[in-house]
Structures are given as structure tokens and as C-alpha cells.
Amino acid sequence: MDEGLADQVVDPNSAEVEVTHAEDGAALSSNAMVPNAAYCTIDGHYTVTWTFKSYLGNVRYRWFHRTNYCRGGGKVRVKSHNDGVRDADFMIQVREVVSKAKSGGGTGQARAYMQRHLESCVIKYGCTASSYPWNRSFINANGTYRHEGSNK
């Protein structure tokens, strides 16, 4: 593969994942449209960031999925969740949200799912490849969490 082309194409096996998590015991609702449930004593957010690189190892983009939740009394609820793209080079085109869902509110585990369509473009050929990064976050009432996802 031509070196210039290799730096413009996303390597599908290059995924790196970073997780950030924070909680605030005050449980004050930061979103007036989604008030806290009576059982909520802790507000938190759980963010999973997927970094994708070119075949030469340079960052093409970072896609993140952030889940805002509240928990307490053995229950948890997803208040909201969103996604975004950071550090994208100018040849990455952010397209539509493919899927967005949340479930399990007021139970022992809440889930949030997000998938986005992105196009990878090459100067010489135009937009030649689509990727569909997705992430599913699992937030548990006991304060544990995990995620699964991919760029495929």
C-alpha cells in the first residue's frame, strides 16, 4: 500500500479503549428535564473512548460514548447518554446515529447503547470506507460497570 494512502485509511485492528468514570455523592440533577428518581443518592458518568489509527499508526479519530446515570438503594437508572468525535482528521466525515437505546431503569443494572456511522475519505479517491463504531455500557447499582463494543 502506498505510504500516503496507508496514513489516510483506518486500520480496523487499531482500536484502543480508554474508560473514565466519576461519581458525585450529592446526586443533584444537572438536567432539569430528567429529574432524579427518589432512590438516587449518587450521580455519575461513565465514558468509553475508542481511538482508531491509520495503518501507519497515526490517530484518525477518537469516538466516545458517555452515559450519565444515578444510583442508590440497590437501583440504577441511565439519565441520558450521547456520543461524539474528537481529534478527527479532516478526512473523517461524521454521519448519522445508527442506533441509540437505554434500558433497565430502576433495576439493579442499567444499559446504554450507541452506534454511529463514520466515513473515511481519501484525498485521491473520495469517501471509500464506512465504519460503524458501537458501545454498550452496563452500569450496576453496586457501583461496578463494564462495556463492550467494536468498530465493525
DSSP 99-128: EEEEE-TTBSEEEEEEEEEEEEEETTTEEE
Say whether pTM exceeds 0.95: no
Q: Coil, strand or helix: which one is 6?
A: helix
Architecture per CATH, 3-150: Sandwich (2.60)
pLDDT value of position 23: 87
pLDDT value of position 148: 95
Q: In this structure, is the dihedral angle defined by the CA atoms of residues 55, 59, 65 and 68, taken in order, positive or negative?
A: positive
Q: Measure the CA–CA gap between 12 and 2, rounded to whole angstroms.
A: 17
pLDDT value of position 30: 45
pLDDT value of position 32: 42
pLDDT value of position 29: 43
Q: How confident is the prediction for the chain on average, in pLDDT? A: 86
Q: Which residues of the chain have pLDDT under 70?
A: 1, 4, 25-37, 152
Q: Measure the CA–CA gap between 105 and 85, rounded to whole angstroms.
A: 27
